[in-house]
């Protein structure tokens, strides 16, 4: 058997390439039935993820520990997987007030691949290695995403990350893949895609949910959340300015006039403004108190 035939067999046996019997007639039924079948398939995703909660919790702890120790978390993937990693990294910045150099997305094909598919980019193992060699450092975290589990670009990144003594979290829809180089593997069995091989569907949805759980939990562990308020948000637009004002009022019990006054005084540093209002102290004292408590509001205002 030659290499091409061998690869054909490998790919044809992937869980993500299996035929979905439930949607086999999807091209010959009415549109409402099409939508219902897709919805029925999507309902299976949260249940599949629920079987991987221990792995997700461990991943969140690793990301939080790295963050609190000044290390970076890198997201890498190709196609849909890469775009989901970009989305996760980018949205952490305004939501939790983190620096963009602490959560870094990498997508096969570079920035333009976000808007235009560069499918061949995922086949370049060496490029995945190069990206991590350029950015990663010992103690950093790599969140590697590959629905099929065998994407060469992502596998190259994993190999390089281990060479550089980084920790690796591997997210995939292939429960049969060999992942001995990953510290944590989150292999979610979503079953065959409704449209054969279209991993932007159930696999993509599962990936998004898992990423949300990892990063949100990590930020909770890192003191970026008080009860369920995002108290380190960066008000970079009008909606977020209003949210900062509302959160201030809800936590402190103060009126909107006071909220605007103190938030303006702190240049909309929400956490500092809250401590100032609740404790009746200066901005300098509030910042010191926050620093002394590693940013955890629950340890300052209860």
Residue 11: per-residue pLDDT:
64
- CA–CA separation, 35 vs 30, rounded Å? 9
3-state DSSP assignment of residue 249: helix
Residue 8: per-residue pLDDT:
61
Phi and psi at residue 233, to the nearest 5° = -60, 150
Residue 2: per-residue pLDDT:
45
The mean pLDDT value of the chain amounts to: 94
* C-alpha closest to that of 73 among 135, 176, 146, 142: 142
Q: Is 91 a catalytic residue?
A: yes
Out of 41, 55, 88, 122, which one is annotated catalytic? Answer: 122
3-state DSSP assignment of residue 98: coil
Q: Is 122 a catalytic residue?
A: yes
* C-alpha closest to that of 168 among 181, 156, 155: 181
pLDDT digits (tens, 9 = 90+) for 234-273: 998 999 999 999 999 999 999 999 999 999 999 999 999 9
User: Count of alpha carbons within 13 Å of 197, Cβ hemisphere only?
Assistant: 5
In the chain the first and final C-alpha atoms are separated, in Å, by: 67
Q: Give me the mean pLDDT over the 37-41 stretch.
A: 97
- Residue 5 — very low, low, confident or very high, per pLDDT cuts 50/70/90? very low
* C-alpha closest to that of 216 among 101, 300, 91, 302: 91
pLDDT digits (tens, 9 = 90+) for 80-129: 999 999 999 999 999 999 999 999 999 999 999 999 888 788 889 999 99
Q: Does the pLDDT at position 9 exceed 70? A: no
Out of 91, 119, 178, 265, which one is annotated catalytic? Answer: 91
Inter-residue contact 159 to 166 (CB < 8 Å): no
Inter-residue contact 82 to 112 (CB < 8 Å): no
Lookup result for tokens 């390089």: 160
- CA–CA separation, 35 vs 208, rounded Å? 21
Q: Give percent of the chain above pLDDT 90.
A: 88
- Residue 1 — very low, low, confident or very high, per pLDDT cuts 50/70/90? very low
Residues 6+ apart with CB under 8 A from 142: 73, 74, 76, 132, 136, 157, 158, 161, 166, 167, 168, 169
Residue 19: per-residue pLDDT:
92
- pTM for the model stands at 0.92
3-state DSSP assignment of residue 75: strand
Q: Does the pLDDT at position 23 exceed 80? A: yes
Q: Give me the mean pLDDT over the 15-33 stretch.
A: 94
């Amino acid at each position: 058997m030659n290499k091409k035939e061998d690869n054909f067999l490998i790919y044809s046996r992937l869980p993500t390439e299996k035929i979905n019997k439930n949607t086999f007639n999807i091209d010959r039924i009415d549109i409402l039935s099409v939508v219902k079948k897709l919805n029925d398939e999507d309902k299976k995703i949260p249940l599949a993820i629920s079987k991987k909660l221990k792995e997700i919790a461990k991943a969140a702890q690793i990301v939080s520990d790295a963050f609190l120790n000044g290390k970076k978390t890198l997201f890498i993937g190709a196609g849909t997987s890469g775009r989901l990693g970009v989305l996760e990294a980018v949205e952490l910045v305004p939501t939790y007030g983190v620096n963009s150099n602490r959560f870094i997305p990498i997508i096969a094909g570079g920035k333009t691949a976000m808007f235009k598919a560069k499918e061949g980019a995922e086949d370049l193992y060496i490029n995945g290695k190069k990206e991590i060699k350029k950015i990663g450092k010992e103690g950093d975290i790599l969140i590697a995403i590959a629905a099929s589990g065998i994407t060469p670009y992502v596998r190259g990144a994993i190999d390089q990350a281990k060479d550089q003594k980084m920790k690796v979290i591997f997210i995939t829809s292939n429960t049969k893949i060999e992942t001995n180089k990953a510290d944590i593997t989150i292999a979610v069995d979503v079953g065959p895609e409704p449209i054969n091989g279209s991993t932007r569907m159930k696999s993509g949805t599962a990936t998004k949910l898992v990423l949300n759980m990892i990063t949100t939990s990590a930020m909770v562990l890192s003191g970026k959340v008080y009860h369920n308020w995002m108290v380190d948000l960066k008000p970079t637009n009008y909606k977020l300015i209003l949210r900062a004002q509302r959160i201030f009022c809800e936590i402190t019990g103060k009126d909107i006039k006071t909220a605007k006054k103190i938030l303006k005084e702190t240049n909309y540093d929400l956490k500092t403004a809250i401590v100032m209002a609740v404790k009746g102290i200066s901005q300098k004292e509030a910042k010191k108190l926050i620093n002394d408590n590693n940013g955890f509001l629950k340890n300052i205002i209860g």
